[in-house]
């Protein structure tokens, strides 16, 4: 299965350095909407069999710009693709968060990765040998990419996922998954 894994465009929260996490919908900034349009243009000639998107507004807005070029494909919006839940850190400015004192309602990286793996396993069973587009979030993508690379969950912090980046992943039955493209934003240049 070939997966095109993308991240939503810049949000107003990203611009203002506000943590949104998996609870806040966020809204694309003017730049974020422009990024989403450029991502749509970049992906317009790709052939997707299925499209999945996080159900959060920032991902939906990005997905809709991409889907203007793929009007016959129905988007499946799902909570499974949401960003890591930051609990009570959601809505707080980056400078007001003390990561040494994480809230109890913060979703663990391991749980987010397990959620990502469960989602991939489910769609692999349904869409083996097909091309899938996924519109998600930075830390969801990082959790999935660290698993594909067979790295420890702590490697998430070293994986960059810029707004509207494109990752191309090959999910294989023999579990020798491959990343063919990582964090590519050439469409923004």
Catalytic residue selected from 83, 107, 137, 177: 83
Give the per-residue pLDDT at 121.
96
Query: What value does the mean pLDDT take over residues 136-164?
Result: 95
The CA distances from residue 55 to 22, 42, 141, 151, 178, in Å, are 10, 22, 15, 28, 27
Active site residue 8: yes
The CATH number of the structural domain formed by 2-188 is 3.40.50.1240
Looking at the chain, the whole-number percentage of residues with pLDDT higher than 70 is: 100
Confidence of residue 23 (pLDDT cuts 50, 70, 90): confident
Question: pTM of the prediction?
Answer: 0.95
Catalytic residue selected from 8, 19, 137, 177: 8
How do residues 54-89 score in pLDDT, each as one tens digit? 999 999 999 999 999 999 999 999 999 999 999 888
- Rounded to whole angstroms, how far apart are CA atoms 1 and 78? 19
Give the per-residue pLDDT at 91.
87
How do residues 75-129 score in pLDDT, each as one tens digit? 999 999 999 999 888 988 989 988 888 888 999 999 999 999 999 999 999 999 9
Query: What value does the mean pLDDT take over residues 174-185?
Result: 96
Q: In what order do the strands lie in the sheet with 131-136?
A: 75-78, 50-54, 131-136, 2-7, 166-170, 178-184
Q: What angle do CA 146, 161, 105 make, to 5 degrees?
A: 70
Give the per-residue pLDDT at 46.
98
């Amino acid at each position: 299965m070939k997966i095109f894994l993308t991240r939503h465009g810049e949000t107003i929260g990203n611009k203002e350095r506000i943590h949104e996490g998996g609870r806040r919908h966020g809204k694309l900034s003017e730049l974020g909407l422009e990024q989403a349009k450029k991502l749509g243009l970049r992906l317009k000639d790709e052939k997707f069999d299925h499209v999945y998107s996080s159900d959060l507004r920032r991902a939906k807005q990005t997905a809709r710009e991409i889907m203007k070029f793929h009007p016959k494909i129905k988007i499946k919006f799902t909570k499974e693709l949401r960003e890591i839940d930051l609990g009570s850190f959601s809505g707080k400015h980056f400078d007001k968060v003390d990561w040494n004192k994480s809230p109890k309602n913060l979703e663990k990286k391991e749980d987010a990765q397990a959620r990502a793996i469960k989602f991939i396993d489910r769609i692999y069973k349904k869409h083996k040998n097909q091309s899938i587009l996924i519109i998600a979030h930075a830390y969801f993508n990082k959790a999935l990419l660290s698993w594909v690379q067979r790295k420890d969950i702590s490697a998430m912090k070293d994986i960059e996922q810029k707004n509207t980046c494109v990752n191309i992943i090959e999910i294989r039955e023999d579990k020798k998954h491959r990343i063919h493209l990582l964090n590519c934003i050439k469409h923004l240049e």
